[in-house]
Chains A and B, each alone.
With several copies, the nearest count.
Chain A
Amino acid sequence: MEIKDYMRLEIPGFSRNESFARATVAAFAARLDPTLEEMSDIKTAVSEAVTNAVIHAYEDEIGIVFIMAYIENLTITVEVVDQGKGINDVNRAMEPFYTSTPELERSGMGFTIMESFMDEVEVESDHGEGTTIRMVKHISSKNKQGEKSYGAAD
């Protein structure tokens, strides 16, 4: 059985962990040698999903957030999972500018950014059981030099 190249990170949903989470996924994605633009797309999308878990899924308590990423060929898949309150109406949640928490100055653009910056976004959510966001990004193959560029990640 071949083992895929993956990482799985578990962190408590403190807002200061938003930057830690996206930096970790970025360090993992670095082995694909993405362009600066691809890298910033991934970081931004991960930041949106993790922020949603922190502020929407768990609201006032600190819950656990799981971030999984795996690589197949030139494709990276990132999953952000929470065990929070879930999303009642996923279609409405994904509409641009829809936010349930305007008082937190959320813009309602989180899902729109994930969908624009990644190639695929899937949302699974059960009321009271939590939410899983699965995002896929294909990395362009120009400029590939095997393993060489990975060292530059850290």
Chain B
Amino acid sequence: MEFTLLPMQGNLVVRIFGELDQHYAEEVRKAVDKEWKREIYHNLIFSLENLEFMDSSGIGLFMGRYKTVSEKGGRVAICGPPPSIKRVIELSGLLKLMDIYRDEEEALNKLVLN
């Protein structure tokens, strides 16, 4: 697992690569929370186009960030999950809390419009 944090149009984009499980979710959580605390971002976008595996630890990660971000009036979006990961997300009811987009571009456009 690897990940990168990118500021994009005032939002924080988190690109995650490889396999996301409980062991690695912790790493991502710490880094995202630290960056988010700078209070310079509007929304948070998880970009999963290069994620190859994810179990429910990813759900916990997204839900946990949803709490912090929505407290400040921001939104959380997910983009580009491959089919197997999309099924985990759908099952979890996460889509009641956040939107899912095809790719980063769509996510950035739609978040601005809303």
Contacts and interface: CB of A to CB of B under 8 A. Distances in A.
Interface stretch (A35-43, A68-76, A121-129): A35-43
Contacts of A51: 21-22, 55, 57
Q: Is the interface of A mostly helix, strand, loop or mixed?
A: helix
Interface residues of A, number: 31
B63 A152 contact: no
Nearest to A151: B1
Contacts of A109: 56, 59, 91-92
A107 B92 contact: yes
Contact of B21 (A36, A40, A47, A105): A47
B87 to A, nearest CB: 8
B83 interface: yes
A79 B65 CA distance: 33
A4 to B, nearest CB: 18
B53 A43 contact: yes
Interface string B6-23: 000000000000110111
Could you say which interface size class chain B belongs to? 20 to 34
Contact of B64 (A37, A96, A105): A105
B29 interface: yes
B63 A40 contact: no
A113 B55 contact: yes
A2 interface: no
B60 interface: yes
Contacts of B84: 36-37, 40-41, 44
Contacts of A41: 84
A112 B84 CA distance: 15
Given A44-B84, A109-B92, A18 B63 contact: no
A54 interface: yes
Contacts of B35: none
B88 interface: yes
Interface string A108-149: 011011001000000000000000000000000000000010
Nearest first, the 6 closest Cβ-Cβ pairs linking A and B are A40-B84, A15-B23, A105-B60, A107-B59, A47-B55, A109-B56
17 contacts: A15-B21, A15-B23, A18-B23, A43-B53, A44-B53, A44-B54, A47-B21, A55-B22, A97-B93, A104-B60, A105-B60, A105-B64, A109-B56, A110-B56, A112-B91, A113-B55, A151-B24
